[in-house]
Amino acid sequence: MPLTSVLLLSMALFCIGVFGVLSRRNAIGILLGVELMANAVNINLVAFSRFQGGVVGQVFAVFAIALTVAEVVVGLALVILLYRSRKDVRVDEANALSG
């Protein structure tokens, strides 16, 4: 499988993620979009590592997975926090601070 097709796949995944972040109104949906973006990066890293030799890319991907998980955990905790205080997770409804 050539490198270009892997890159196309990851680029598509990344763009879907960006679209999700920009179009979703639900905090969890945005979080999912960010996750897709991060996983596109992981595909990229592993593909580069496979085609260039060396393992740095794979190590990078492993760390990136752990980092994204930590990020998601903090994000979900914040969502729960907001839910407890407002009973709603839609970010466009959360507008006490706009202006």
Partner 1 sequence: MLETYLPMLFIFVIALTIGAVMFFGGQLIGPKNPTPEKMMPFECGNDSQGTAGVRLNVKFYLTAILFVVFDIEVVFIYPWAALFKSLGWTGFATMLAFIAALLIALAYCWKKGALEWES
Partner 2 sequence: MTFDVVYGLSPLLVVALGALLLMLAEAFGKPNPQGLAPTGEVSDAGAGRAGELGMGAAVVLFVGAALSLGVWLAGPDNLVGLELTRPYLIWDRFTVFVCFTLCLGGGLSCLLAGGYLTEHEIDRAEFFPLVLFSTVGAMALAAAGELLTLFVALETMSLGVYALVGLRRTPRSSEAALKYFLLGSFAAALMLFGAALLYGATGRTDLAGIGQAIAAIGQGEGPGAAQVLIALVLVVVGLAFKVSAVPFHMWTPDAYEGAPTPATSYMAVAVKTAAFAVMVRVLLIAFGDERLTSWASGWPPVLATLAVASMTVANLVAGRQSSVKRMLAYSSIAHAGYALVAVVATIRSPAAEGSILFYLLTYTVSTAGAFGALILCGSRGKEAVSYEDLAGIAKRHPAAAMAFSLFLLSLAGVPPTAGFFGKLYVFQAAIDAELYVLTVVGLLNSLVGAYYYLRVIVFMYMREPAPGATLAVPMRSGYVASALVIAAVLVIALGVLPNVTLEWAAIATVGRS
Q: Which residues bind partner 2 (CB under 8 A)?
A: 14, 17, 21, 27, 30-31, 33-34, 37-38, 40-41, 44-45, 47-48, 52, 54, 56-57, 59-60, 63-64, 67, 70-71, 74-75, 77-79, 81-82, 85-86, 91, 94, 96-98
Helices vs strands, H then E, count in the chain = 3, 0
* Shortest spacing between CB 87 and partner 1, in angstroms: 11
Q: 79 or 91: whose CB is closer to partner 1? A: 79
Which tokens sit at 70?
A: 């930590």
Q: How far is 42 from 54, CA to CA, in rounded Å?
A: 15
Q: What is the DSSP letter of 69?
A: H
CA atoms within 13 A on the CB side of 50: 13
The residues that touch partner 1, with contacts defined as CB under 8 A, are 1-2, 5, 62, 65-66, 69-70, 72-73, 76-77, 80, 83-84
